[in-house]
Structure 1
């Protein structure tokens, strides 16, 4: 299967190519385009591809400018860190919308939907509803300031600002505080992630969500991954994947 990547960040296009190859080695990236101008020139000529992965912010403008100048008649999966552009994505031949950093499982799901929808142009009602809910949820969102931890027959309130990290320990989600105390929470890590301020907490991997003030050291790990040291110390290694490493470094640099 031939695909095209429209992306102006080399690290992002390399990551996407890597993930596509991990999911299906038969996927071939025909070309990587990094500007609106290059994309317009490319899509003005015949091309051999069945799917486009397109970032919204390009080196010389917004990718939606491409559609004002040329028609792209194959499905598009948008990849961007800015979900406020989702509504515009409905107006072009889009089958999905992935937020950066791209998660391998979500990418695989998008490819599966592409295979199902090869004869269908545009997004179905379920996808449109999902994106609308995402936008509405992000707009004016407030974040959780207190968690309740069950201890015996009582509930203990825990201020979010005092939590160094959340992690899954033998199937139980725990909150570890900066004072080294820990509490079991009756919540899924995904639910907790949605309730936290993303400028303060980061989902490092499937097991950990970390407060930025808990991170004391970052080391380069094998295969371009990152290894984090936190305080209070954790017995489990906290690894940020290659796909998320660039985004994590940007997050830490804010």
Structure 2
């Protein structure tokens, strides 16, 4: 199988190449492209690629722009970070995708599906237009206020005043910038879909944290990270090794 990788993060492209070769050492990586411009240049010329793995966000734009300027007549599997809105777009348009950080088992399943299905299964113009409509034109709206419990009443709590969400004994709590905690009648998974992912990050099963309140990040054993927040949290907030790179990219964005 001859593969092209479109990815502007060297560590991510190296990891994907490593996983591909771990699954099947006969896979040939023809090219690693790190920009829209380089990809357009490559795909407008004759090539013998059979499959493309394509990151969405590249250094010089969004990878969907490549399809406006070059015809890609082979299957494409997009790679994307944890973005519920983007996932909805892919599902609606029946386009293959993998979540970052890429899991070897899921990658193997994607390759198996590729071999089972027709290899000339390229993305149609209809699919791409639907994807562009949902991601580039339509913009998600995020929750600005939560109704929280305070004694025997419900109080509106604005999202800009929330430092982090945590789950304790099955109850979800919102901790504010002035270190007050309020219970919320929602699951952490539901909250994650309702708030802006550029401002909040799902650190682990117990925490969603706001970027602005992160005070310090420490290296932990086995590639994990420990995050300190302000206001302080009594429970340790740990980022797993699998999510460490994604978290650091989010922090730097």
Shorter-normalised TM-score: what interval? Answer: 0.5 to 0.7
For the residues of structure 1 that align with 2:230 and 2:191, how far apart are their CA atoms?
20
| Superposed displacement of residue 166, structure 1 | 0.8
Query: Which runs of 5 or more residues in structure 2 are unaligned?
Result: none
Aligned equivalents of 2:190 and 2:207: distance in 1?
Answer: 13
Q: Deviations over 1:41-83 (max 9, x none)?
A: 8x94556x6x43123566788766589667553x221225796
Other-structure match for 1:26:
23
- Indicate the residue corresponding to 2:77 in structure 1: 77
Per the alignment, residue 147 of structure 2 pairs with: 148
User: Could you tell me the TM-score, scaled by structure 1's length?
Assistant: 0.67
Q: Which moved more, 1:200-209 or 1:115-124?
A: 115-124
2:62 & 2:212 partners in 1: Cα distance? Answer: 34
1:44 touches 1:70 (CA, 8 Å); kept in 2?
no
> What is the correspondence of 1:174-189 to structure 2 with a 5 Å cutoff?
174-189=173-188
CA contact (8 A) 2:56 2:62 kept: yes
Structure 1 residue 174: deviation in Å?
Answer: 1.8
Does 2:194 align with 1:192?
Answer: no
**Which residue of the partner structure matches residue 42 of structure 2?**
40
Any conservation in 2 of the 1:95–1:123 contact (CA below 8 Å)?
yes
Distance 2:220 2:71 in 1: 43
Q: Are the equivalent residues in 2 in contact too, given 1:228–1:238 (CA < 8 A)?
A: yes
CA distance in structure 1 between the aligned counterparts of 2:236 and 2:129, rounded to whole angstroms: 38
Unaligned runs of 5+ in 1: none
1:119 paired residue among 113, 117, 120: 117
- Residues 1:134 and 1:239: Cα distance change in structure 2 (over 3 Å): farther
Q: Secondary structure at the match of 2:143?
A: coil
Aligned length: 235
CA 1:25–1:152: 2 relative to 1, 3 Å:
farther
Asked if structure 2 preserves the Cα contact closer than 8 Å seen for 1:224 and 1:242, the reply is yes
Q: Distance in 1 between matches of 2:69 and 2:212?
A: 45
- For 2:69 and 2:145, the matched residues in 1 are separated by 48
RMSD: 4.4
- TM-score normalised by length of structure 2: 0.67
- CA deviation after TM superposition for structure 1 residue 228, in Å: 0.5
Q: Secondary structure at the match of 1:40?
A: helix
Task: Render the CA deviation track for 1:193-226: whole Å, top value 9, x for unaligned.
Answer: 2222333222223332111222110112334432
